[in-house]
Structure 1
Amino acid sequence: MEENNLTVVTEFFLIGFQIRKTLRIFLFCLLLVVYCGTICGNLLIIVLVSTSRNLHTPMYFFISQLSIGDILVITDIVPNLLQVLLNNGRTITFLACISQLYLLCATEAFECFLLL
């Protein structure tokens, strides 16, 4: 007789970094500052290109589109990373994992097509 494995995966447990709490908090603060700086820098590029008439050329339009793609990519990844760092682990459902992977692949494909 053959027995089939009928295990169904419903969620994953992300363990995070197995380091001291003070170092995790330092990493959290460092990554949060870098994340906020990246978001603000990309938003500044988008606003400058949108509002300045001198920057309405194809090159600057291209740069603003890359900034939008960069915002989408880091907004997909970094908040979950910060939550894992702060809580020293986290569970994520299978559907949420697949959704995050799809969003990451879609935004990366957008950037690749834009560069092409």
Structure 2
Amino acid sequence: MNVAGARENVGSLVVHQSGIQCFNCKEFEHFAKECRKPKRVKDSAYHKEKMLLCKQAEQGVPLQAEQYDWLADTDEDIDEHELEAHYSYMGKIQEVPTADTCTNSEPLE
């Protein structure tokens, strides 16, 4: 590593990798597509992170190139159980009403 920090010269661009976090193993200094560890298990944390990135992209929040790559990285054959788990997890996440917005005393279903 040189004095300026962890860098790689890519053509004329200088890429700083010290602040980059892998979406697969959560370690720093490499991208998920460069990760040598097995692919990340698609558990609830995986689906939550992917859903939040999708929401940010829909709202026009600028994402990093690695985040776009991770969103685009989908398996060719989507497992039905995985898809059901993703949608059920999305259904469980909802906004919690505040006292200002909720005047109805009936419980939410």
TM-score range, shorter chain: under 0.3
Q: TM-score, structure 2 length as denominator?
A: 0.26
Higher helix share: 1
- Comparing both chains, which one has the higher relative contact order based on Cα–Cα distances under 8 Å and sequence gaps of 6 or more? 1
Q: TM-score, structure 1 length as denominator?
A: 0.25
